[in-house]
Amino acid sequence: MGTYHPESNTLLRSDSILEYVLETTVYPRENECMRELRLLTEQHPWGFMGSSPDQMQFFSMLLKMIGTKDTLEVGVFTGYSLLATALALPDDGKVVGVDSNREWYELGRPLIDKAGVADKVDFREGDGIAVLDRMLLLPLAGDGLFDFAYVDADKQRYAAYHERVLRLVRVGGVVAYDNTLWGGSVAMPRDTPGSSELDRSVRDILLGFNAAVAADDRVEACLLPIADGVTLCRRVK
């Protein structure tokens, strides 16, 4: 049986493997502003909510491979992933970031400015579901406003986000959901030692969400064991 490590940033067998990945392919080419924001985020009391640098490197490459121009991010925190996206987009690209906490976003905004990509970032403060519902009222929403979307917000509402985000992303576009393996707990007994009541509750929610996505004929789904688990959905209809 696996061992649950809620405090870890990786599902790999050991942290040393993650360090090897970071030291070999991530840190040597890490943008200076990305490095500064990563270190700033790590010092935050809620720093564990920040996206992992290897995951952001993967997203950066993915965005370039699929020719992304317009993107959506639900759950911004300090803006680390927002900055990674903005840097990967072309000069006329745009990322719309949605979060209910502007104070956290403001921590990272100076580094977004410093990186020279502030013009690509459109931050919208508010409840994620409410903001998405307003977007769906826009005249062109039915045609898909975005090429890519990244959801890293409250897991209890992932199913609700899915129904909205999938309508906002064009056919052929990609949606990514973070933390879908939740420390590996989805593959372990519910009462695994070390898990809290919150962990067990989120585990149950994600088990249902992962099963629903796998059965959703509107998408092609792929569940990757990178960072804390990333589910990629390519909209096919």
- The whole-number pLDDT of residue 192 equals 86
C-alpha to C-alpha distance for 152 and 51, rounded to whole angstroms: 9
Determine, yes or no, domain membership for 1: no
In a domain, 7, yes or no: no
pLDDT at 15 (0 to 100): 82
Is residue 3 in some structural domain? no
- The confidence score (pLDDT) of residue 3 equals 46
Domain with 198 in it: 15-235
User: Residue 22: inside a domain, yes or no?
Assistant: yes
Q: How far apart are CA 191 and CA 110, in angstroms?
A: 43
- For the cut 80, the answer to whether the pLDDT of residue 1 exceeds it is no
Could you tell me if residue 4 is inside a domain? Answer: no
List Cβ neighbours of 119 (8 Å cut-off, separation of 6 or more): none
If pLDDT is split at 50, 70 and 90, which confidence band does 9 have? low
pLDDT tops 90 at residue 140 = no
Does position 153 have pLDDT exceeding 80, yes or no?
A: yes
Structural domains counted in the chain: 1
| Average of per-residue pLDDT across 185-189 | 91
Q: State both tokens at 107.
A: 């921590």
The predicted pLDDT at position 62 comes to: 98
Confidence at 7, pLDDT banded by 50, 70, 90: low
pLDDT in tens, 21-79: 999 999 999 999 999 999 999 999 998 899 999 999 999 999 999 999 999 999 999 99
Strand ranges (E), the chain: 70-74, 94-99, 121-125, 146-151, 169-178, 219-224, 230-235
The per-residue pLDDT for range 75-122, each reduced to its tens digit, is 999 999 999 999 999 999 999 999 999 999 999 999 999 999 999 999
Classify residue 6: in a domain, yes or no: no
C-alpha dihedral (200, 206, 211, 212), degrees to nearest 10: 130
CATH of the domain at 207: 3.40.50.150
Give Cβ neighbours of residue 59 (< 8 Å, ≥ 6 apart): 81, 84, 85, 88, 150, 176
Task: Look at residue 2 and tell me whether its pLDDT is greater than 50.
Answer: no
Write down the pTM of the prediction. Answer: 0.93
Q: Could you tell me which residue, 123 or 193, shows the higher pLDDT?
A: 123
